Structure 1
Amino acid sequence: MTTDASQSQAHTSAKHLYQRHQSVLPDWLAVYYADPIELTHGEGRHVWDAEGNKYLDFFGGILTTMTAHALPEVTKAVSEQAGRIIHSSTLYLNRPMVDLAERIAKLSGIPDARVFFTTSGTEANDTALLLATAYRRSNQILAMRNSYHGRSFSAVGITGNKGWSPTSLSPLQTLYVHGGVRTRGPYAELDDTAFIAACVADLEDLLGHVRSPAALIAEPIQGVGGFTAPPDGLYAAFREVLQERGILWIADEVQTGWGRTGDNFWGWQAHGQNGPPDILTFAKGIGNGMSIGGVVARAEIMNCLDSNSISTFGGTQITMAAGLANLTYLLEHDLQGNARRVGGLLIERLRAIAAQLPGVREVRGRGLMIGIELVKPGTDEADPDGAAAVLEAAREEGLLIGKGGGHNTSVLRLAPPLSLTVAEAEEGAAILERALRSTQF
């Protein structure tokens, strides 16, 4: 328990740290909250700030603390590996990297799979684009409207969300396709079957006007876009059209991977009627906070590059040790099943709350990947100010959440660690209800 004096001192320290942050880091490196907080430690589904305040964490470092904070199995694996060797680069054989690659290749569902490790989701998607364009000898990429794929030059160039795309310059020619957002846009009023048919017709029409693209890249559930998703089966229908033309399908699983959606281990499996993707990317949760990303592809695609390449930090021993321990824990404790059960309860609880609040347009999601879209009451107009107010109010009551959305950042994003308990889900829902009501929804 902290004293008033120590809290005041810590608060002053946090303000000073923020001043230092502003003086040396880019203006576009955004932080949450009017008075940003410094998180100092965590345990389970909770974190503490420098003032000693305890928070229930419903965002997990942007879906990255996937199992739990300070998970003993992961911290032990990291500590033991650090005591042996931390890093050697890919120029040397690396047992933990091979061990993790074998497990991921098998879990991917891609036949004759090869795995390349990176340090982030951005780098993973960048590599997938390199592979697809080299394999297909085309720089045309199909991407989804409202999408987000990272912050590199090529990833920004295919991002269909102007709030996260600071330049239109790109080495790629990007063509945007309908379908990533179910309840907005020209097909929103159609039923699921008609929606899929309309999106497929749009894709076929687009392909009739362009040269042969290299690939379609798509998030099964759009993350930064506000946890939006098409009806199950859309990408299977797209896949049929793409396969006829030899166009590759890249599934961006940076946010959906490792069982977060509850129903499936990968998001693509909700659309897998025509087989797995040609290329799959992952990152965020696999390292439970350690920097791991990667690409899985059929051998003929992965091996298509005809020049040398290495990764200095991708697949380094200490991150691979964390990934192996974390994946083992997730599978042995059926955290995918927990995401399905607890996430299902949380979504229903939030929908019951939303039914009483005119400022909530929709509660959507799957498993422990939940979006609450806010609008100005009585309209269909996005309410980013309202979302910011709820974010602040939730933090004041001890709950950390995220926000996003392609319509002016008006979606609250909930993505707690997959070990979330029913009691913690109820606690978080109760705080959210008070925060929503207190901000006049």
Structure 2
Amino acid sequence: MTDLYGRHKAVLPDWLALYYDRPIEITHGEGRHVWDADGNRYLDFFGGILTTMTAHALPEVTKAVSEQAARIIHSSTLYLNRPMVELAERIAALSGIPDARVFFTTSGTEANDTALLLATAYRRSNQILAMRNSYHGRSFSAVSVTGNHAWSPTSLSPLQTLYVHGGVRTRGPYAGLTDAQFIQACVADLEDLLGHTRDVAALIAEPVQGVGGFTSPPDGLYAAFREVLDRHGILWISDEVQTGWGRTGEHFWGWQAHAQNGPPDILTFAKGIGNGMSIGGVVARAEVMNCLDANSISTFGGSPVTMAAGVANLSYLLEHDLQGNARRVGGLLLERLRAIGAGVPAVREVRGRGLMIGVELVRPGTDEADPKAAGKVLEAARESGLLIGKGGGHNTSVLRIAPPLSLTVAEAEEGASLLEQALRAV
């Protein structure tokens, strides 16, 4: 492993982050577990950044990939593609967007990039509203609407971005308000912001901020925003790259917690739908999707192999009610972690929905973020056989927990116990 790490550093960028002081090579997985090159077994509570959605080595998905690869691997979007049409039909129906059209990409970054292209072309404006503490990908345009400076390496931008309050409930100037007052204050902030500009194209927002530390506003905030946006003709882009496919348990899409005024104009997705295969995409109503007046194709988006994987994975998710499992098992795990956190002074908050849970760490007795403690807990959890993630807008001081949606009650209890050991050790 030391040799592979040296080779990695010799040919890959310094900014390509690796977890752990001694990085691990994951060689194979099954169910909710993975193994490294030294033979160590881990309970996976991060799923390759919320991407292994159903299970590692899910037979239905591996079979679909193998069978499709034996027929044809690639053709591009210049030819009819049956698996792509089949998956698009299912996603369009599930999206809630009327007269929906679907465009497939290879990542969430590319999906958000496409959504921004559609919105700016449709509205003939390069002004975008985004949320503070947000993350939308690593492309030039996606970085320019990312409200988390730790993931935004340049101030240059093809867009003019204005940042709105509301993505973080328990920090900032409105933290002490009730939920209703919080929504009212954020809407007033949005109204004030729009009073100083014009011709905004869209608001892009994650219903639950992923990289930002699994923070979210009170239910109904984006519905209240939508009333303001609609008066100005501004589109709403819901970034469902991390919240989609039932991960929050309560809803299939994150936007449905804010559904009083219907679905978003544009919805982006990625990660979990491919269960590890490279699938991203955009759903929009036809008039928005079809607004481009230039040619466009995708060489790799909608690949027959990835689409076959997506169809099989989505079928398994729906047939086994993994959204319901995320709600039930995630609810138990959340309560267990809250009980643990109540006895650990460094834990400021345990928050989340379904199998999307954040544990925020601070210096005991303060509200000061403690990224060093988060790093130590990450290491200690790994040593005990548990893989978790980290993030947060306050110096990556949030432990991110997002297992495959097929997690069992016994595995949830095991993971909670291992995390408790790590927290208490640090």
Fold shared, TM-score > 0.5 on shorter chain: yes
Cα distance in 1 for partners of 2:2, 2:137 equals 30
Aligned length: 426
Counterpart of 1:208 in structure 2 is 195
Counterpart of 1:155 in structure 2 is 142
State which of 4, 15, 32 in structure 2 corresponds to 1:45: 32
Counterpart of 1:264 in structure 2 is 251
Q: Cα deviations across residues 164-196 of structure 1 (Å, max 9, x unaligned)?
A: 000010000000000000000000000000000
Matched ranges for 1:405-416 at <5 A: 405-416=392-403
Cα distance in 2 for partners of 1:168, 1:142 equals 16
State which of 115, 121, 133 in structure 2 corresponds to 1:128: 115
AA partner of residue 233 (structure 1) = G
1:438 equivalenced with 2:400 (yes/no)? no
Cα distance in 2 for partners of 1:139, 1:25 equals 34
Matched ranges for 1:423-434 at <5 A: 423-434=410-421
State which of 347, 355, 359 in structure 1 corresponds to 2:346: 359
Cα distance in 2 for partners of 1:59, 1:352 equals 21
Cα distance in 1 for partners of 2:50, 2:70 equals 28
State which of 347, 351, 360 in structure 2 corresponds to 1:373: 360
AA partner of residue 245 (structure 1) = H
Q: CA deviation at 1:212?
A: 1.8
Counterpart of 1:26 in structure 2 is 13
AA partner of residue 216 (structure 2) = A
AA partner of residue 168 (structure 1) = S
Q: CA deviation at 1:382?
A: 0.1
Counterpart of 2:294 in structure 1 is 307
Cα distance in 2 for partners of 1:379, 1:155 equals 34
Q: CA deviation at 1:211?
A: 1.4
1:63 equivalenced with 2:66 (yes/no)? no
Matched ranges for 1:39-438 at <5 A: 39-438=26-425
Q: CA deviation at 1:145?
A: 0.0
Cα distance in 1 for partners of 2:136, 2:100 equals 22
Q: CA deviation at 1:310?
A: 0.1
Q: Cα deviations across residues 68-116 of structure 1 (Å, max 9, x unaligned)?
A: 0000000000000000001100000000000000000000000000000
SS at match of 1:115: strand
Q: CA deviation at 1:265?
A: 0.2
Cα distance in 2 for partners of 1:32, 1:15 equals 14
AA partner of residue 285 (structure 2) = R
**CA-based RMSD:** 0.3
AA partner of residue 46 (structure 2) = F
Cα distance in 1 for partners of 2:337, 2:17 equals 28
Q: CA deviation at 1:245?
A: 0.7
Q: Give runs of ≥4 in structure 1 deviating > 2 Å.
A: none
TM-score calculated relative to the size of structure 2: 1.00
Structure 1, gaps ≥5 residues long: 1-13
Structure 2, gaps ≥5 residues long: none
Cα distance in 1 for partners of 2:355, 2:199 equals 37
Q: CA deviation at 1:313?
A: 0.1
Cα distance in 2 for partners of 1:140, 1:307 equals 21
